[in-house]
Amino acid sequence: MTAIGLCGPDSMSRGFFYGCARSHAMSRRRAAELTRYADGLHNLPMLWFKAFHIVFVASWFAGLFYLPRIFVNLVQVPAGSVAEQARLLLMARRLYRFASLLMGVALLLGLVLWLGYGVGMKQGWMHAKLALVLAAIGYHHACGALLKRFERNETPHTERWFRVFNEAAVLIFMAIVVLVVVKPF
């Protein structure tokens, strides 16, 4: 029978689990497992912030992955296809505005985790992550600047350039996720 079974699922308080771990004379490993579980309950609000941080970050990056795809389509629009160009510009404008909103919430929740709960404070992986977050914010604003140039009827770069630019967002995203999950230093 598991410790949770013995103690009853309705009495999941931190102190109770510590007591359970002792009174049932469990292995040290099992007791450590329970302590971690109890700590998780203790940090429940932090876990909610983290869950929504991940949701908003993923949604923001979905926008950053898709915007350069629209730019590729804009470059491909044949000369004189005014309606198609206007439709793509409208899509890009709306997506950029929505992605900006998502970015704001994602960053705010990240700041709550970092400065509010002190997660990652004075740790190498966090400093590296913050540097990459600055790169992500820069990338977001670069998308805004490119959009403005398309709106002025310019073609800022070639189709190939936008395809390569698109990959930069993927690399930033991958590097940040590896840093926060693996915490290599």
Footprint of ligand HEM on this chain (CB under 6 A)? 50, 53-54, 57, 61, 107, 110-111, 113-114, 119-120, 133, 136, 173, 176-177, 180-181
d(CA 73, CA 53): 31
Tokens of 115: 């400065």
Rounded to the nearest whole angstrom, what is the least distance from the CB of residue 148 to ligand HEM in the complex?
23
Specify the amino acid at residue 111: L
Question: Longest Cα pair distance anywhere in the chain, in angstroms?
Answer: 80
d(CA 21, CA 29): 10
For residue 90 the two structure tokens come to: 């409208």
Cβ closest to ligand HEM, residue 6 vs residue 108: 108
Nearer to ligand HEM, 19 or 118 (CB): 118
In angstroms, what is the minimal distance from the CB of 127 to ligand HEM? 11
Between 75 and 119, CB nearer to ligand HEM: 119
Closest residue to ligand HEM, based on beta-carbon distance: 110
Least distance in Å: CB of 46 to ligand HEM?
Answer: 8
Minimum CB separation of residue 84 from ligand HEM in Å reads 32
How much helix, strand and coil, in percent to the nearest 5, is found in the chain?
Answer: 80, 0, 20
Locate all alpha helices (DSSP H) within the chain, ordered by sequence.
Answer: 3-7, 14-23, 28-42, 44-76, 82-111, 124-151, 159-182
| Among 163, 150, 166, residue whose Cα is nearest residue 86 | 150
Question: Of 59 and 85, which CB lies nearer to ligand HEM in the complex structure?
Answer: 59
Least distance between ligand HEM and beta carbon 54 (Å): 5
Report the residue number, 72 or 132, with the smaller CB distance to ligand HEM.
132
